[in-house]
């Protein structure tokens, strides 16, 4: 999930364009397009992501697009991943706090975002906020599973009070799935730009007709073409996404032990060792429960290492802000607050034949699992 959150920045070039744009309304359009672009490859990405362990982290540096990304799992119940991104003249705060509701009648799971994304354009000293569109996972009972967006969302320039409003039109008749319509208004409520397109393919801005010029349309975003992104065999991954879990020898030397690329179950699944992936998944779940019980016994409240929850002074919304400089810790090579959340399988020495044998941890944890299973299932529900 931490890697999934990083996928939003495949189109970071839209943010780079916003920092260079002189027209304030077109800048807002670029930010709006960036919000929409993160859903371009979502239609059939219905497989459940790995739930991060509390304290799990992920970093990504993109020299081509000019940004560095860091995320941390800051809450287990509810599950929340927080991220901070630094780019060329911008930075971004976002998190994944959502509400979910299943409708048996509609055979769909509805996901409503509870958090806002904050973008600061540093060179222009402007701040933007937006909510993510609502999502529906359809076809859970009949038909092919797919993801759709619906409803309205707003993108606000908090410096100028310009607002972009976008509506997702319901599929039917002549309306294709993914169709969007919207407009950008200035502080006085006057329409400056019209918005048109489809979140699966493109995003256009339309300059309304005036006494001085005719109506003009401009495409500011198109979905990238990738040979794998529409291929079920490749899980609809773009090349960008497929490389996020890559762990080079150079990265091994500088990453903290909490980075999700060190997760044994995730790595085993990628290597198609399904038995190992399953056993490692269970081991990590037991380890996480034991850590939680220890905190409860010691009456300690979990605190994220690199983020803290604060209240937005303007809106009163809760958001996760950076509380410690991850990149400075990385530079110094000192992740002193990094916990051993993954660990390793227990090993015992067989003195008779001097072989290292992996000890089965299932029996060790069986009693704890049985005690916790009902409690955990209740929480998860």
Q: Which residues contact 296 (CB under 8 A, 6 or more apart)?
A: none
pLDDT attached to residue 227: 64
Q: Which domain holds residue 355?
A: 346-381
What is the value of pTM for the model shown?
A: 0.85
Domain boundary among the residues 215, 249, 283 is at 249
* Same-domain status, 37 and 155: yes
Per-residue pLDDT of 4-16, as tens digits, reads 999 999 999 999 9
* Same-domain status, 58 and 168: yes
pLDDT attached to residue 380: 47
For the beta carbon of residue 296, count every other beta carbon within 10 angstroms: 10
> If you average pLDDT over residues 224-228, what whole number do you get?
72
Helix, strand, coil shares of the chain, percent, nearest 5, are 30, 35, 40
* Same-domain status, 194 and 47: yes
14 touches 37 (CB < 8 A): yes
The enclosing domain of 207 has a CATH number of 2.40.160.120
pLDDT band at residue 38 using 50, 70 and 90 as cut-offs: confident
Residue 322 lies in a domain: no
Distance separating alpha carbons of residues 173 and 363, to the nearest angstrom? 58
146 touches 46 (CB < 8 A): yes
pLDDT attached to residue 286: 94
Bridge partners (DSSP) of residue 110 are 101, 136
Q: Which residue would you say has higher pLDDT here, 352 or 142? A: 142
> If you average pLDDT over residues 332-352, what whole number do you get?
70
> If you average pLDDT over residues 314-318, what whole number do you get?
83
> If you average pLDDT over residues 184-206, what whole number do you get?
95
E strand or H helix that includes residue 330: helix 326-332
* Same-domain status, 234 and 373: no
Whether residue 345 is predicted with pLDDT greater than 80 in this model: the reply is: no
- Which is it for strands 307-311 and 90-95: parallel, antiparallel or unpaired? unpaired
pLDDT attached to residue 370: 43
* Same-domain status, 356 and 234: no
Q: In the numeric block, which tokens belong to residue 336?
A: 């002193």
Q: In the numeric block, which tokens belong to residue 239?
A: 């090349």
> How many structural domains comprise the chain?
2
* Same-domain status, 223 and 361: no
Query: 323 φ, ψ to 5°?
Result: -110, -15
């Amino acid at each position: 999930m931490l890697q999934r959150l990083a996928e939003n920045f495949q189109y970071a070039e839209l943010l780079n364009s916003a920092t260079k744009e002189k027209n304030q309304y077109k800048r807002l359009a670029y930010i709006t397009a960036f919000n929409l672009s993160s859903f371009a490859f979502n239609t059939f990405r219905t497989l459940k992501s790995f739930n991060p362990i509390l304290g799990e982290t992920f970093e990504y540096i993109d020299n081509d697009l000019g940004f560095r990304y860091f995320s941390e799992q800051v809450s287990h119940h509810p599950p929340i991943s927080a991220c901070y991104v630094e780019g060329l003249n911008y930075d971004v705060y976002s998190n994944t706090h959502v509400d979910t509701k299943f409708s048996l009648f509609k055979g769909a799971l509805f996901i409503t975002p509870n958090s806002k994304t904050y973008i600061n354009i540093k060179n222009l000293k402007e701040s933007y906020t937006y909510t993510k569109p609502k999502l529906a996972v359809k076809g859970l009972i009949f038909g092919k599973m797919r993801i759709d967006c619906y409803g309205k969302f707003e993108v606000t320039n908090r410096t100028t009070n310009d607002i972009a409003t976008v509506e997702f039109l319901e599929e039917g008749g002549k309306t294709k799935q993914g169709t969007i319509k919207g407009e950008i208004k200035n502080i006085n409520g006057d329409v400056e730009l019209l918005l048109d397109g489809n979140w699966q393919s493109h995003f256009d801005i339309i300059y309304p007709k005036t006494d001085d010029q005719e109506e003009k349309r401009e495409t500011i975003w198109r979905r990238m073409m990738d040979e794998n992104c529409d291929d079920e065999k490749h899980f609809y991954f773009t090349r960008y996404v497929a490389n996020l879990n890559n762990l080079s020898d150079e990265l091994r030397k500088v990453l903290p032990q909490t980075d999700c690329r060190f997760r044994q179950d995730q790595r085993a699944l990628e290597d198609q060792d399904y038995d190992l992936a399953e056993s490692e998944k269970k081991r990590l779940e037991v380890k996480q429960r034991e850590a939680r019980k220890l905190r409860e016994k010691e009456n300690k409240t979990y605190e994220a290492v690199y983020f803290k929850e604060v209240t937005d002074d303007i809106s009163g919304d809760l958001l996760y802000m950076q509380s410690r400089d991850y990149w400075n810790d990385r530079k110094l090579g000192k992740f002193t607050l990094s916990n051993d959340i993954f660990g390793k399988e227990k090993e015992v020495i067989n003195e008779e034949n001097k072989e290292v044998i992996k000890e089965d941890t299932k029996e060790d944890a069986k009693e704890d699992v049985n005690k916790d299973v009902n409690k955990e299932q209740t929480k998860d529900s």
